[in-house]
Structure 1
Amino acid sequence: MQSNYIAKGAFVLMAGWSVYSPALAGGLERGGYNIDLLFDRSPYAAEASATYVMPQRKLKNAQDTITGPDGNLSTTPGYSYSSTADDSESYWSPRIGIKAGIGDSVDCMFDYSQPYGAHTNPGANWAGANDNIETKVDSDNYAATCSYRFDAGPGQLRLIGGANYLRMDGFKERLLIAPEALGFAFSGVGRLDLEGDGWGWRAGAAYEIPEYAFRASLMYYSQVKLDEVTGTVDLTQVPVGSVYAGTVVPVEGSTAMPDALELKLQSGIAPDWLAFGSVKWTDWSQLQRIPFYNNGVEITSLDLGYRDGWTVTGGIGHKFNEQWSGALSLTWDRGTSQEFGTQTDTWLFSAGVSYAPTQHVEIRLGGVLGILTGGESSASSIDGIPVGDEASYEYDSDLVAALSTSLKVKF
């Protein structure tokens, strides 16, 4: 009697609950990859969700550490560059998925998401403008994932596999020569535009015991090789300083978005109560220094210098009645920045509610409040090449908030 009651209450949460954490993690991760819809027991299900993330990262004590034809923005008399800046921009993270059951054993899911991205915009009037004025990265991911399940002991074992196509694009602007040094005839800003695409795959397994609302899943997501990243370096606002000055230079390079391994666990622990948790490792350390060339000559590079990312989540869910359920969770994400950058450890507290007006419709709302821990950025090196040496700055612990909503239809 006890186990059946758990199944009646907590399994509803297992089938329809999604942990409310913001699309915010280390490296370039936003929404990441998510296959939870695949486990929905309805023959057909469709889900649309959107998360709006509002980071509040602020920089202080910024100093330009470059010497050269532009002088030093922090110390040169007559320059009025600020030592502070608002670094972060708010953003949306959408996801759309459709799942269909094929016979009694096969389920397939097709989804669109934006797993990666970044947007920093401290502007052109701070002392670190030689390092960054604005950087923006966007992604579009299209994935197909299927599973085959069969009886194994008291539950069912599910084998999972699929493929995804990832497209990425973005730009970076930074100050190469101060406009004061050019007599304000030019802005002195250089711009890098890039785009690339590639294919990846995913594989894993899950074990489920519906009677106890238990599920354990282990998923591996392969790296996505972006073998042909192409773009331009626009130096039309930089009339001096190199043989490419005043021109638009085609460039090319290559990189790969990292592979990841994720373990998820959940189980009914009492009537109408569910505990859940996850651990995820992402190989961000493979993104170090990415050079871009024109006819074999390096023109510029993206200097990231990441270390591996770890994300750990734990939480609890409760079913209040046949229509309402809720959950609370706590997430720790290890920062991927090392000597330079602003990606320090993040702590996130998430809360959400689920409302099911009918057995075919479910609406979820969630909120997140978190802390971006403080730190500092200064010069470093990657394979003996100086990086992060355009500017130094500090930042205190800052707040991040997020709102999430989703609609699922099952039939």
Structure 2
Amino acid sequence: MANHLMKTTALGLIAACAFVGGAQAGGLERAGYNIDLLFDPGQYTFESGVVYVAPQRKLENVVDEDASDSTMTTAQGYSDSTTETENYFVPRIGFKAGLTEGLDCLADYSQPWGVHTNPGADWVGAQQNIETKVDSDNYALTCSYKFDAGAGQLRVIGGAFYQEVGGFKERQVVTSETLTALGQTTTGVGRLDLEGDGYGWRFGVAYEITEYALRASLVYNSEVKLDNITGTLDLTEIPFVGGVLTNPLFGQVTDVYGSAVMPDTVELKLQSGIAPDWLAFGSVKWTDWSQLQRIPFFAEGTTTEATALELAYRDGWTVSGGIGHKLNDQWSVAGSVTWDRGTAQGFGSQTDVWTFGTGVSYTPSENVEFRVAGALSLLTSGSSGEVTVDGVTYGEDVSYDFGTDLVAAVSTSLKVRF
């Protein structure tokens, strides 16, 4: 009974609830890292899924605080409120194989990091951000070897992954009012495009007692050093005007370079049967987002800073717990609650997030499983303005407030065992 419960509820709905619940975590997290498929009892198992997330973060009482670059105001027709976020999809796919007795391997593709904000060009804070988008692609191979240890089995986990990260940012560098006064007809919008890649590794251990549907796992995922980020800074919409607009990069496209580090993570996961057909699960994860503070980019061939991305993150903590129940041999349900500590430190809108998720699993045969999960998240209220972190000032250009907002998400997946 417990073994069947672990196959259906534990390996199905826990993963589904975690995936849909973690899609609105702090920092640049989208799906994060998930190797739950490695524990599937089938010899060969294929799984694919996608989550759709619809966040609704609205910024209000926006004020352009920096008069040095021409203040944008509501009197000029700009709005002091805007919706910051964009809806997005996150896919994943994986194939697990039992190679020999005790040896399992998982090959998977995921998108662990990403963000898409699009407040537009018509709000008072356009000189801070018009649109920012970051995407990632992660290709991983993870293996484990398990052996008898006491009443259960101990599993040693190791793997490596290759990661590509890219994106762009647009902002209003010079206001249209300033350009019009100078007799110019360009938009004044600048665009930064970047891409980089790197490698990481993971190591962990897990202990399982199948009879009680019990499993405890601890996995460390290393940082990914993006040592050679390259891209372009397009300032062709800001003309060089001697005596007024004198930045030598204005009016041209400049190749730029820089470096960054995607965070390492540590995650502890627990699950156990607590009664016939009932199972409890939980997890705690730490993410080293504080590595991402101010990221400068330099003009190619020089050490002259051309621009920078300002994030000022603090470390993230995610705590989750839930209950799963097997209704019969075909249907199981589960529910979860997740708290994610916001990474913002008074700059930005990434405050604490509470997520309430639920899922349904349908298993028409022991070889096929369909899952659907949904979640509703509460983005807690706060404000953004000028702050100093480690001696560096952020947010001196724009200030704003935001209330408690909602995020809706839905996840679907299919698992096939051979």
Does 2:298 align with 1:301? no
What residue in structure 2 maps to residue 346 of structure 1?
A: 353
TM-superposed deviation, 1:66: 1.5
Structure 1 residues 244-296: Cα deviation after superposition (integer angstroms, max 9, x where no partner)? 11011111110110000000000001000000000000000111110011110
Q: Answer yes or no: is the 8 Å Cα contact 1:11–1:268 preserved in 2.
A: no
Does 2:323 align with 1:316? yes
Structure 1 residues 100-122: Cα deviation after superposition (integer angstroms, max 9, x where no partner)? 00111100000000000000000
After TM superposition, the structure 1 = structure 2 runs for residues 25-40 of structure 1, keeping only pairs within 5 Å, are 25-40=25-40
What residue in structure 2 maps to residue 71 of structure 1?
A: 70
Structure 1 residues 91-146: Cα deviation after superposition (integer angstroms, max 9, x where no partner)? 00110000000111100000000000000000000000011000000000000000
Return the alpha-carbon distance in structure 2 between the equivalents of residues 367 and 281 of structure 1: 24
TM-superposed deviation, 1:394: 0.5
Does 2:293 align with 1:288? yes
Quick one: which of 378, 386, 391 aligns to 2:393?
386
What is the one-letter code of the residue matched to 2:116?
H
Q: Answer yes or no: is the 8 Å Cα contact 1:176–1:238 preserved in 2.
A: yes
TM-superposed deviation, 1:65: 1.1
After TM superposition, the structure 1 = structure 2 runs for residues 12-27 of structure 1, keeping only pairs within 5 Å, are 12-17=8-13, 18-20=15-17, 21-27=21-27
After TM superposition, the structure 1 = structure 2 runs for residues 114-133 of structure 1, keeping only pairs within 5 Å, are 114-133=111-130
Q: Which SS does the other structure have where 2:113 is aligned?
A: coil
Query: What TM-score, normalized to structure 1?
Result: 0.96
What residue in structure 1 maps to residue 263 of structure 2?
A: 258
Does 2:374 align with 1:367? yes
Cα RMSD (Å): 1.2
Structure 1 residues 217-270: Cα deviation after superposition (integer angstroms, max 9, x where no partner)? 000000000000111111000114211110111111101100000000000010
Structure 1 residues 177-218: Cα deviation after superposition (integer angstroms, max 9, x where no partner)? 111211160111111110000000000000000000000000
What is the one-letter code of the residue matched to 1:102?
L
TM-superposed deviation, 1:11: 4.8
TM-superposed deviation, 1:40: 0.4
TM-superposed deviation, 1:382: 4.1
TM-superposed deviation, 1:74: 2.1
Structure 1 residues 135-176: Cα deviation after superposition (integer angstroms, max 9, x where no partner)? 000000000000000000010000000000000100001111
Return the alpha-carbon distance in structure 2 between the equivalents of residues 67 and 384 of structure 1: 23
What residue in structure 1 maps to residue 253 of structure 2?
A: 248
Does 2:273 align with 1:268? yes
TM-superposed deviation, 1:388: 1.5
Q: Which SS does the other structure have where 1:208 is aligned?
A: strand
Q: Which SS does the other structure have where 1:23 is aligned?
A: helix
TM-superposed deviation, 1:19: 4.1
Q: Which SS does the other structure have where 1:127 is aligned?
A: coil
Return the alpha-carbon distance in structure 2 between the equivalents of residues 265 and 84 of structure 1: 43
Does 2:404 align with 1:402? no
Q: Answer yes or no: is the 8 Å Cα contact 1:66–1:72 preserved in 2.
A: yes
TM-superposed deviation, 1:16: 3.1
Q: Which SS does the other structure have where 1:326 is aligned?
A: strand
Q: Answer yes or no: is the 8 Å Cα contact 2:8–2:361 preserved in 1.
A: no
What residue in structure 1 maps to residue 198 of structure 2?
A: 198
What is the one-letter code of the residue matched to 1:131?
Q
What is the one-letter code of the residue matched to 1:40?
D
Q: Answer yes or no: is the 8 Å Cα contact 1:268–1:274 preserved in 2.
A: yes
What is the one-letter code of the residue matched to 1:288?
Q
Return the alpha-carbon distance in structure 1 between the equivalents of residues 311 and 401 of structure 2: 18
Return the alpha-carbon distance in structure 2 between the equivalents of residues 174 and 342 of structure 1: 17
Return the alpha-carbon distance in structure 2 between the equivalents of residues 402 and 16 of structure 1: 18
Q: Which SS does the other structure have where 2:67 is aligned?
A: coil
1:370–1:15 CA distance, 2 compared to 1 (3 A): closer
Return the alpha-carbon distance in structure 1 between the equivalents of residues 171 and 58 of structure 2: 18
Q: Answer yes or no: is the 8 Å Cα contact 1:316–1:327 preserved in 2.
A: yes
Q: Answer yes or no: is the 8 Å Cα contact 2:12–2:371 preserved in 1.
A: no
Return the alpha-carbon distance in structure 1 between the equivalents of residues 139 and 294 of structure 2: 27
After TM superposition, the structure 1 = structure 2 runs for residues 320-335 of structure 1, keeping only pairs within 5 Å, are 320-335=327-342
Return the alpha-carbon distance in structure 2 between the equivalents of residues 217 and 386 of structure 1: 40
1:166–1:8 CA distance, 2 compared to 1 (3 A): closer
Q: Answer with 19-28 or 30-39: which moved more.
A: 19-28
Quick one: which of 131, 135, 142 aligns to 2:132?
135
Return the alpha-carbon distance in structure 2 between the equivalents of residues 29 and 269 of structure 1: 32
Q: Answer yes or no: is the 8 Å Cα contact 2:223–2:261 preserved in 1.
A: yes
What is the one-letter code of the residue matched to 2:149?
A
Quick one: which of 151, 156, 159 aligns to 2:156?
159
What is the one-letter code of the residue matched to 2:46?
A
Q: Answer yes or no: is the 8 Å Cα contact 1:258–1:282 preserved in 2.
A: yes
What residue in structure 2 maps to residue 148 of structure 1?
A: 145
Return the alpha-carbon distance in structure 2 between the equivalents of residues 106 and 282 of structure 1: 29
Structure 2 runs not aligned, ≥5 long: none
What is the one-letter code of the residue matched to 2:12?
G
Q: Which SS does the other structure have where 1:278 is aligned?
A: strand
Q: Answer yes or no: is the 8 Å Cα contact 2:10–2:324 preserved in 1.
A: no
Return the alpha-carbon distance in structure 2 between the equivalents of residues 104 and 263 of structure 1: 26
Q: Which SS does the other structure have where 2:219 is aligned?
A: strand
Return the alpha-carbon distance in structure 2 between the equivalents of residues 256 and 10 of structure 1: 37
After TM superposition, the structure 1 = structure 2 runs for residues 42-191 of structure 1, keeping only pairs within 5 Å, are 42-68=42-68, 70-74=69-73, 79-183=76-180, 185-191=185-191
Count residues with an aligned counterpart: 404
Q: Answer yes or no: is the 8 Å Cα contact 2:7–2:41 preserved in 1.
A: no
